[in-house]
Structure 1
Amino acid sequence: MGFWGSFVVCRSETPLDELSAVVERHDGIEEHWRRADGWQVGQYPGPELADDAPALLAELVEETGAPALTGFVLDSDAVHVEGFSVAGGHWKACLAREATEAYCEDDDEDFDAEFPSPEAAARAAAAWASAAGRTPDMPGLAEVFAEEDSDFAEELFFRLLDKLGM
């Protein structure tokens, strides 16, 4: 059985497990990583953060003053990625598109409308990274969003962070 839960990415001197936007929605962090320039990544088990991702992201951006990103991992098979910045607003994409589509088969929503193509996702992610003061790798982003073969979708999420310039 793989991981079911969320990654939260933001830039803040305050640890993730002390930011009110996160604390109000989840009991505790499972893993925590620090990245360059004050960026941090937290891993949280369960669906609580994914259920309210747009509001969580908007509150994180307001609280930290920097763009924020989440990735909801579905059994280590796929990742729903959502980002928010003041300049670019909210965007959504997925990693491991075929696996994501399989998880969404029973939904009554238009999958292609819900999750943009890898190229469109790469453009949205690059705009987010630029708003975050990062230098994105556009060809690398397109490659990550088009990737289908990964043993663990979490690895794709961390590759995405690398391609975002983090």
Structure 2
Amino acid sequence: MGFWGTYVVLRSDEPPAHVLPAIAALQGAVSRDGPWSAGWRVWVVRDSAGSLPDDLLEQLHAVTGSPVLLGRVLDSDAVHVVATGTSVRRWEVWLQLKYAMGHLLTPPASFDDDNYLGDDWRDPAYEAQVEVTRLEILAQAPGGMTGARSAQAWARDACLVPDTVEAIASVLDGDETFAEGLFFQLLQRLGLNPE
């Protein structure tokens, strides 16, 4: 079983539970060891701590006035990254979107009324819905060079020194056994981890 939870990346000396004390799930946030760029911290909020509000990014940004980045991990298969800056608007990207699809759209069971249909059984209607949903997500949260340009602009707005667009794109389009590995590679490419 993989990790389910959210990484909260803040430029703040205060933990997220102090920044937004009304959100109970943030009380369980644990600091993730760095090193991180000056003033930045990364916090881990496990799903077992409770649910986070859909507008957590906006709430954190409103209270801190600083750039914020969140990484929502789905069973270590995929990460949904969203961020906002001081002058750069919200952007988002998925790391390993193809592995997220089974979490976003529940696949059909490989059984009919009485029979196991086999390991290679496919449901064409489900596969078509997955492709439609995948394309909708990519229209809103593009990866590759487009996503990398947005990520680089956010990093510069956050007063970080990001890597090249090509280096960032290689992470956005990467593949790892544990999606969190790609997330931390992305933080490094954005200049949040100076090593």
TM bucket, shorter chain:
0.7 to 0.9
Q: TM-score, normalised by structure 2?
A: 0.74
- Using structure 1 for the length normalisation, give the TM-score: 0.86
C-alpha distance 90-127 of structure 1, shift in aligned 2 (>3 A): same
Residue 65 of structure 1 aligns with an amino acid whose one-letter code is G
Alignment partners' CA distance in 2, 1:101 and 1:94: 11
Structure 1: unaligned runs, 5 residues or longer: none
> 1:77-116 maps to which residues of 2 (within 5 A)?
77-105=77-105, 109=133, 110-116=136-142
Q: Say which of 127, 131, 134 aligns to 2:157.
A: 131
- Cα deviation for residue 74 of structure 1 reads 0.4
Q: Which residue of structure 1 aligns with residue 10 of structure 2?
A: 10
Range 94-103 or range 108-117, more displaced: 108-117
Report the Cα distance in structure 2 between the residues aligned to 1:23 and 1:154, rounded to whole angstroms: 27
Q: Return the alpha-carbon distance in structure 2 between the equivalents of residues 113 and 105 of structure 1.
A: 18
> Cα 1:23–1:122, aligned 2, differ >3 Å: closer, same or farther?
farther
Q: How does 1:10-159 map to 2 (within 5 A)?
A: 10-20=10-20, 24-26=23-25, 27-34=27-34, 35-46=36-47, 48-49=51-52, 51-52=53-54, 55-105=55-105, 109=133, 110-137=136-163, 138-148=165-175, 150-159=176-185
- One-letter amino acid of the structure 2 residue matched with residue 82 of structure 1: V
Structure 2: distance between partners of 1:9 and 1:29:
11
User: Once the two structures are superposed, what CA deviation does each residue of 1:73-119 show, in whole Å capped at 9, x if it has no partner?
Assistant: 00001000000113111111111132134433457742322331322
**Identity percentage of aligned residues:** 36
Shift of 1:23: 5.1
User: Structure 2 unaligned runs (5+)?
Assistant: 107-129
